[in-house]
Amino acid sequence: MKTQNSRKLAVFSAVSAFALAVSAVASQSNESAGILLTPAAAPAPAMQASKSGPSVTLPVASAVSSVPKQTVAVAKAAPLFGANLSGAEANGSDVLRPSLWDLQGYVERYNYKLIRYPFIDNRMTAARIVELRTLTEYARSKGVRMILDNHTYKWKSVQEMVTFWTTFARNFSDDGSVILDLVNEPSGFNDPVLTNDWMQWVRDSKLVIAGLRANGIKHPIALEYPQWSATFRFDKGEAAAMACESAGCALDRDKGGPLDPLNLTYINAHRYWDKGSSGTNGTCDLTWGPTSGIDSFAAQLRKRNLKGVITEAAFGSSYGTHATCAEMGKDAIADIKANGDVLLGVTWWGGGRMWPEKYHFKIEPKKDTRFQVEVTPFIKQLRGD
């Protein structure tokens, strides 16, 4: 079982400052307190809002087109392949947080289509919000979606989460280019009355999402769940007489209304294949079985008419993949491709300047030349090539 921040490092080297060529003004809101910032000159957006209001553009389950003789061809949506860009969530200091140059390398050099940006909520000052908005607007201009991940592991009160995310989300385009990852691998469920963690999770999740929608937040949401949000813990097949020990069970039993009134929430899962699924070493424990298990997770989503996204998974690095993980990685990618009707895609773990060269899940090659040398076979593999 993974321990909090077990994959994160706390020691950083000094780097030159990232010069932000954007000024911002604070916009006013009568609906909630907080700093609402808009860049003075954001890049031209790739997805335009309609005159009647912002539109939400999402991958669809199928695309239908007419061909001669009234034949209808149905194709699954292609899942998006991308990476986490770590640094803003790091222990101690976030001096190595992703810069615009980092993001450009992953988008233009590596050709990744989905980027997850882990951060810590109490670090998001007005200046940091401007900086992050510059990244999201750049990604938006390139047709790349960004997941903003509150990487604190702490499940707070409904009111605290609604207040933070309402104020924070209003700084970012709500046309589907930015996805809100409410809490990374949540823990700390301590309701004295509703003592089952899973049932508190589903109750609170519905209240938080309803609160955000009531406040006009239209962004897609990525919802993680207790027990490290592991794919294999989404549905444990609990008997009717048993208490829930999985997110799937809680979603089935809770009758407190829809998960999301806008139906724009993804079930957000993680998967590591080392012993204990901890992500702490680069070997794969084959006692899990010969396959990735992602297809089973997708099947559980499909059964419930849910959509999902894999925001953490890893099986190797640009320096090599352990022999025990080679086939597992291939199977994981195949499973993601085969389940594009329910899976938005994947953001592989291990991207960003904060990781040392020896890190067993390091996506990038050597730091000094990572965007100059030929793109490694591993980076190409992670994008589904």
How many beta carbons lie within 10 A of that of residue 340, not counting itself? 20
Query: Of 21-25, 291-295, 367-371, which has the strongest mean pLDDT?
Result: 291-295
Q: What is the pLDDT of residue 287?
A: 87
Q: What residue spans define the domains of the chain? A: 78-382
Query: Is a pLDDT exceeding 90 seen at residue 56?
Result: no
**CATH code, residues 78-382:** 3.20.20.80
Q: How far apart are CA 162 and CA 232, in angstroms?
A: 29
- Whether the model clears a pTM of 0.85, i.e. scores above it, the answer is no
**Percentage, residues of the chain above pLDDT 90:** 78
Mean pLDDT, rounded, of the chain: 85
Assign 117 a pLDDT band (cuts: 50, 70, 90). very high
Q: What is the pLDDT of residue 18?
A: 30
